[in-house]
Amino acid sequence: MVHELSLKGGLVVSVDHSLGDLPDADVLIRDCEIVAVAPGLSTSGKNAEVIDCKGRLVIPGLVDTHRHVWQGAIGALTPQMTGADYGPAVLNGISTSYEPEDIYAGALWGALQALDAGITTIADWAHNLRSAEQTNANLRGLQESGIRGYFLYGGPGPTTDMPNPRHPLDARRMRDEHFPKGVNGRLRMGMALRGPCFTSTERNAEDFKFARELGLPNSAGPQSNLRRNSRR
């Protein structure tokens, strides 16, 4: 059975130069694929779902390029925290008690929160991966949410008791088992590297070399720049 969804009469911001912005237009979606964008579109059957979008913006899904999705379940804990509180309370505090099922629940809930906010593509900077079981659980939460984006394999937090922690070698297993062709459903894999301010120059070079060896893109945490700037 074909499922149709019609978004009627909104201000469509197409981000398509050939279409431009349409002040009173419809978006017709058939089986999860946009098939037409124009004013006055008709659906093909009485079972179509129609949403009145008059007075609303209709835009493509947003992209979040740095999100710790596993923290989705603890959002109510952090609004009153400063950046200085975040490391001791979360990265070296609550995160150490996370079991694989907690990682799964946090990743699933965090990804669903993103979707509910109109963010359909994320770069999940997953930096509470202390075991292969936790890593698999994080990926499973992303997959079950249906979100699109990158699973960025990190370690157990940018702050750690080890002065120069090695990036988890389990990343190789994860790539081979879950991303042998580079894509797993709507997800791709990359590396979440700590960056030069959270490890030594030598270890940082080794981490980048490891990412290149695996053929994976990498994202170094923005906290690196923040911390470097704060020391000036």
Domains of the chain: 4-58 (2.30.40.10), 62-230 (3.20.20.140)
User: pLDDT at residue 161 above 60?
Assistant: no
- Token readout for 117 is 């906010």
Q: How far apart are the first and last CA of the chain?
A: 62
| pLDDT score for 232 | 34
**pLDDT above 90 coverage of the chain, percent:** 64
Query: Shortest CA distance to 101 belongs to which of 74, 141, 66?
Result: 141
More confident: 23 or 46: 23
SS3 content of the chain, % helix, strand, coil (to 5): 35, 30, 35
